[in-house]
Structure formats: C-alpha cells, structure tokens
Amino acid sequence: MMLWTRAPFPRGAVQSPMARTTSYGTCELCGKRTSKAAMTRHLASCLPAHGGGRGKPERLLHLQVQGAWAPMYWLHVEVGARRSLAELDGFLRDIWLECCGHMSAFEIGRARYSVAPDDAWLHERSMAARLGDVVGPGTTFRHEYDFGSTTELKLAVKGEREGRSTGGPVRLLARNEAPAWTCAVCGAPATLIDPLANYDEDAFYCAEHATEVSEEDLVLPVVNSPRMGVCAYGDV
C-alpha cells in the first residue's frame, strides 16, 4: 500500500469553512445534545449527577481535547490524576490516531514526555509521569502523534473533582458529531477523501466518483477523527 505523509492541516494552515461552523456533540452521561461551546458548562453540572463508580474517591481531571488545526473534532474525557500520561496517550491512539504504530509525545510547558525519552532532547521525560503531577485546572498542553505526518492535538484541563473511578483509565464524557462532508462531483454524502487535497472543497468524494481522483493518488475513508486523510488512517 502506498502511504502519503502529508497532514491535512499543517501548522499555520487555513482551515476549511467547516471548521468555523457550530459543532455539536452528545453527552455520554445523559444523552443531551449540545454545542461544543456549551458542552463544558453542561458537563460541570452533569458529572456530579453521573459520577457513580466503585472504589475509594480519588482526584479526577476533566479534559477537553481537540484537533489543533481541525477543531471541529473534539472530545471531553475524565482521567484519574494518578493515571499516567502513557494511559492517556493509549486512549487517544485508540479513539483517534493509531494507524502504523508511530511515536508520540506530550508537550507540557517546557517539558516533553515520550514513551521512549531521548537524551538528545533537553527537556524530554517519560510518559510514565502521573497526569495529576504535571497538569491541573487551567493547564493547556499538546499531544503529537507521528513525527513525520504529524497529527497535533490541543488539550485543556477544564476542572477537577473528587469522585469514584468507573474502572477504566479514561472515561469518555462527550464527543463531536461527525462533520458532514459532501462529494465534490455530485454533492452526495462523501465517504472518501483525497489525502493530497488538504481538506479543500475538492478533497471529498462519494464511492462512485472517487475514481475521478488521479490513479496516482490514494483515497482514504472519511472518518470522525482529526487523523482523517493522513498516512493510512482508517485503511489499516
């Protein structure tokens, strides 16, 4: 399989109009549908009412995660403060990023946290660090997956509470609804993207018209992830 290494939103890229429209998502706790802007406020009141779990109460951090250059893709999650950055990294890979086992890292302040720290990086540390030791309410930080065709995420700690864990290391609280992309030829719902088109209006195709893309190009599935159209995501 031929793999492309161009990210759909390189650093500083102009986003598509879709990125500037109102994005909606659903609360995983109560099923309420609300806008991206209102979801943080909704969860602040919904979490205490749906905070059931087992075990001893612990410090829990509420994070918002979004595509750095594709903010219409977003998540809200809750993570125990004693959980490691590696566990958060694993969740992000599973739900949004993993395609070919690429390297990844967090950048928090001046420090960089990697699964395999490199001594050549002055401030690089291990992802074994506990989340609650390196971030707190108000902290903003970044995550990078794949240092060649990089997908970059922005994370922000929206709050914390004392509660009981639901069992897993990361609890999904809310997720964006998949953006509606349309075929550049006929206007039907698009199912495929040309990874070289950088999310331009001519990047998306239905199955019937995907053959109009040059044979030298590789179309990839349209998926609800900021990794869409990069490397082999969704096609491995």
Domain parsing of the chain, residue ranges: 21-176, 180-236
The pLDDT of residue 217 is 60
CATH topology of domain 21-176: 3.10.290
The pLDDT of residue 122 is 65
The pLDDT of residue 9 is 40
Contact in structure between 126 and 108 (CB atoms under 8 Å): no
The pLDDT of residue 92 is 98
Residue 176's contacts (CB-CB under 8 Å, 6 or more residues apart) are: 23, 24, 25, 36, 72, 73, 74, 75, 224
The pLDDT of residue 7 is 40
Instruction: Indicate the helix (H) or strand (E) that contains 124.
Output: strand 124-126
Residue 39's contacts (CB-CB under 8 Å, 6 or more residues apart) are: 25, 27, 76, 174
What string of pLDDT tens digits covers the 236 residues of the chain? 223 333 444 433 334 444 457 899 999 999 999 999 999 999 999 998 887 677 788 999 999 999 999 999 999 999 999 999 999 999 999 999 999 999 999 999 999 999 888 776 667 899 999 999 999 999 999 999 999 999 999 999 999 999 987 778 999 999 999 999 999 999 999 999 988 876 666 889 999 998 877 555 678 999 999 999 999 898 75
Per the DSSP assignment, residues forming a β-bridge with 63 are 77, 157
Please state the φ and ψ torsions of residue 142, each to the nearest 5 degrees. -130, 155
pTM value is: 0.88
